[in-house]
Chains A and B, each alone.
Chain A
Amino acid sequence: MKSKIGLIVGKNLLINKLNKQKGVLYLALPYLLYLAFIVSLTYIVVEYFVEFNGENFVFDSFSSAFLFTFYQAFLATVISILFGFIFAVVFYLSPISHRLISSLLNICFVIPVLFISYGVINIFSSNGVLSELASLIDINYNFNIFSFFGILLVTSYFNIAFNANFFYRKLLSIPENYLKLFKSNSISFFRAIKLPLRNYLLSGYSNVIILTFLFCIGNFTIIYLFAGSPSLTTIELAIFESLNFKADIYSALILGLIQLFIILILSIPILFKNTNFYLISSTKRSTYFPFKRNLFIYLMAALALLFLISPFFILINGLANFNLDIFSSLTFYQSFINSLSVSIVSVILALLLSLSSLFLFRFMQERHLFLNKYLFISIACMAFIPSLSLSAIIFLINIKLNFILSNFICVSIINSFFITPVVFIFLMTKFLQNYQNNFKLCSLYKIKPLVRFFKIDLFFIKEELMLISTAVFVLSLGDLTSVTIFNDQSFMTVPYYISQLYSSYRYNDSFFVLSLFVLFIFFIIYLPTKLTKSHASY
């Protein structure tokens, strides 16, 4: 009861403050529209279930999908944690440039899943690099990549990089005085991480473990490409199949909502500790290095590096299959334009919403309004909504709206949903820097919120803004999940076009287009560092 009254009082207080501050309402508008969208979305879903109360959902027919989803996610998480830590340690102890390793681990985080998947197929398939090497030395290569192993391998690839990134950044930022202390007391690296550094290394790690598990649950593209057996069906694949083959939106929605519920429960520890997004915040690095290196470390580092870069060999294969005819294909250009348009719209939507939310968040912080915590949760939770679950919900809304939303709009909305929290959290630290002092100064000089936002805030965060915009642009560009539901003759994106070429056994063409696409992505990632001469990093 108390909390309910508190909420109402807080809400009224906020509205009064918004009314008094000219311009605040305009800046808060995108966030308020987002809230309205979420409310109407919930209303439509609830109304649908009330209408269709007579329909039966046979849980038993999907029980194996639930079991497999969590089983594969658990195994992939264990593998990722283990190898992530090993990779971070050997990279830290090796003489390989820290800048190179950091860039590689960061790229692995934003590179399209499709690229890595085909890269792995290029290495491990029956016609792949390993098979050819095996035939050279007369070994019978009898390995099936389209299996549980393939799913684990690719899912783990991304999450090994994710976990390694966490530990690697932590190791790089061990305070110099600690390192000097280890040196003077002849404490080896492995003894140091066992005792004095253990707590330091593991702080915030519980969040990374949960995030890894959630990422492993939401590996639709990997399952879509590698599941070579009906027993390898996850919840997301079951949603896709319900919508695409069974015309069963009821089951798709139930599956989506159950997955959403489980994931939100799992993400509660992260959502309520909003300061621990360690991975995407910048860290100070120490250049002092007191530990000894040996041959074993060199070997391990080389193997780890080979594992991470091996999917990139597909670039060579792709470019070697240069095909001029691709450039005369109208579908190629259409898909490219669609991909760019979707990403641009998604990034604009995400920027509007995250900047509006950041502004409102700071506005509440400055006035000590407790609602800011709920605002944070309302934005951060978007990161945990599985793309296919959201696709099922958007599909239902489109049916209710008599299909006024085009596939383009649907995909843009879904993409903006999963990139908004990334933008929000990345910009948060810089946006809130010195906010109390700035607030006092702005009050003193009577600087209006609109002026403060456009002339001070945006100028202050412009480098970070540019950097994160390109990162999320790339994330959106490479996404294949929602497009598998929302596509037609006139609307397909580059990843979908590539997967269609691949499905039509035009492997060489699909690898060629993929290589062009990834080179374009590298260019996009490289661009902001040249434009801003930035010191900021992912």
Chain B
Amino acid sequence: MNLKLIFFAFLFPITLFAKNELKVFTYGSFNSDWGPGPNIEKSFEAVCECDLIWSTSDSSGALLSKVKLTNNKEGYDLILGLDDSLMTEAIDSQLFQKHNIDTSGLTINWNNEYFTPFDYGFFSFIYNSSKISNPPRSLTDLANQDDLSIIIMDPRYSTPGLGLAKWIYQVFGDQSTDYWKSINDQIVITSKSWSDGYGLFLEGESDLVLSYSTSPAYHSLIENDNNYRSLDLSDGHASQIEVLGILNNASNLELAKQFVAFSLTESFQQHIPQGNWMYPVIDLESSQSDFYSAAPLPKSLQQIYPTQNEKQNWIDSWKKSIDK
């Protein structure tokens, strides 16, 4: 009896002061030492009186796969880091719930009821201007410069890889396979993830790498290296919007909604430009002028939200070009 009393006496203060937990599942680089995760965690914990617990996966493509396979047995409240090309598949999985958050007033048009955007960017090819003096001005120009080697990402597993497939489809339509064939000899590596591919480019394995138009800002602002540039293509650049969504079996729904609302405020968004190296979804041009001048907005193609079939068509046109 006495032992039980002592046990409960010890347990009491622990349960009394235990904080609510919010479990957010995201891709590794978002919560790395150099990503925006740690700062966002501090900002959110300061207002929510809760513990924000990050769990990470290799890439954004692996995020959805993991919760689908396990039916979210790990009990995550939110997924942060899916992109617009995965949204249809995610909604079809019936693992997510509607957010009911007002998304008017953002710098991008948004009306999805399951997901809210937290950043966006434009796909582009990055090159080192000290090595390439005459960069291509269009996708066709790129294919014509046979001496330029390129690293891309596999569109089946990487969102930038799929982004390139979308981009080529938006520009070339039914002629996409022909375009893929025309750049096939220039592609020296098809990596599984953006970070693998970008790292290999920095190691000198190619002249160009598929990335984002914002990538040079990192080299310029952090490394003080202005040699890395993004191609400015007259065709326009396809965009990517990264989103977050609340899982159906979120154990702490109120806190999850609070975080979604928080993600659209300056406290969250201020960490995006120089943390995730993407554009914020609220207007921060005055407070982040350094970033915007290092990464000016390129000519944009129209944003499209693909169905599963459309995605498969893009991937098929890429596959046809590599099948011998």
Contacts and interface: CB of A to CB of B under 8 A. Distances in A.
A146 B200 contact: yes
Given A144-B188, A228-B190, A399-B70, A245 B203 contact: no
Nearest to A506: B199
Interface in A386-430: 395, 399, 402-403
Nearest to A510: B199
Interface in A185-215: none
A127 B322 CA distance: 27
Contacts of A247: 64-66, 68-69
Interface string A355-393: 000000000000000000000000000000000000000
B188 A503 contact: no
Given A229-B189, A230-B322, A489 B157 contact: no
B154 interface: yes
A507 B188 CA distance: 20
A12 interface: no
A249 B193 CA distance: 21
Contacts of A231: 322, 324
A502 interface: yes
Given A126-B205, A144-B188, A488-B55, A504 B32 contact: yes
Interface string B61-89: 11011101110011000000000000000
Contacts, number: 84
B20 to A, nearest CB: 19
B54 A489 contact: yes
A237 to B, nearest CB: 9
Chain A CB within 10 Å, residue with most, of B65, B69, B191, B204? B69
Contacts of A399: 69-70
A246 B198 contact: no
B73 A403 contact: yes
Interface string A315-346: 00000000000000100000000000000000
A144 B156 CA distance: 23
Interface size band for A: 20 to 34
Interface in B192-249: 193, 195-196, 198-200, 202-205
B196 A503 contact: yes
B202 A246 contact: no
Chain B CB within 10 Å, residue with most, of A125, A127, A395, A503? A503
B65 A505 contact: no
Interface in B269-324: 319, 322, 324
A61 B239 CA distance: 30
- The A interface, classified by DSSP as helix, strand, loop or mixed, is loop
Contacts of A474: none
A246 B65 contact: yes
Given A126-B203, A247-B65, A146 B198 contact: no
A231 B33 CA distance: 34
B54 to A, nearest CB: 6
B199 A505 contact: yes
B65 A244 contact: yes
Interface string A439-452: 00000000000000
B39 interface: no
A489 B70 contact: no
Nearest to B67: A247
A19 interface: no
Interface string A1-17: 00000000000000000
Nearest to B201: A505
B204 A241 contact: no
Nearest to A502: B199
Nearest to B187: A229
B70 A403 contact: yes
A229 B190 contact: yes
B74 to A, nearest CB: 7
A275 interface: no
Nearest to B190: A229
Contact of B58 (A126, A144, A146, A244): A244
B183 to A, nearest CB: 14
Contacts of A21: none
Contacts of A127: 203-204
A353 interface: no
Nearest to B151: A228
A125 B205 contact: yes
Interface string A90-127: 00000000000000000000000000000000000111
B28 interface: yes
A230 B190 contact: yes
Nearest to B193: A503
B62 A244 contact: yes
B188 A228 contact: yes
A507 B199 contact: yes
B252 interface: no
A329 B38 CA distance: 14
B251 interface: no
B194 to A, nearest CB: 10
A245 B319 CA distance: 17
Contacts of B68: 247
Given A146-B188, A488-B56, A489-B31, 19 more contacts: A126-B203, A144-B189, A146-B189, A228-B188, A228-B190, A228-B191, A230-B319, A230-B322, A231-B324, A243-B65, A243-B69, A244-B58, A244-B65, A245-B61, A247-B66, A399-B70, A403-B73, A504-B199, A507-B199
18 contacts: A125-B203, A126-B205, A144-B189, A144-B205, A146-B205, A228-B190, A230-B319, A231-B322, A244-B58, A244-B62, A244-B65, A403-B74, A489-B31, A489-B54, A504-B32, A505-B198, A505-B203, A507-B203
Interface of A: 125-127, 131, 144, 146, 228-231, 241, 243-247, 249, 329, 395, 399, 402-403, 488-489, 500, 502-505, 507
3 tightest A-B CB contacts, nearest first? A505-B199, A247-B68, A228-B189
Interface of B: 28-29, 31-33, 54-58, 61-62, 64-66, 68-70, 73-74, 154, 156-157, 188-191, 193, 195-196, 198-200, 202-205, 319, 322, 324
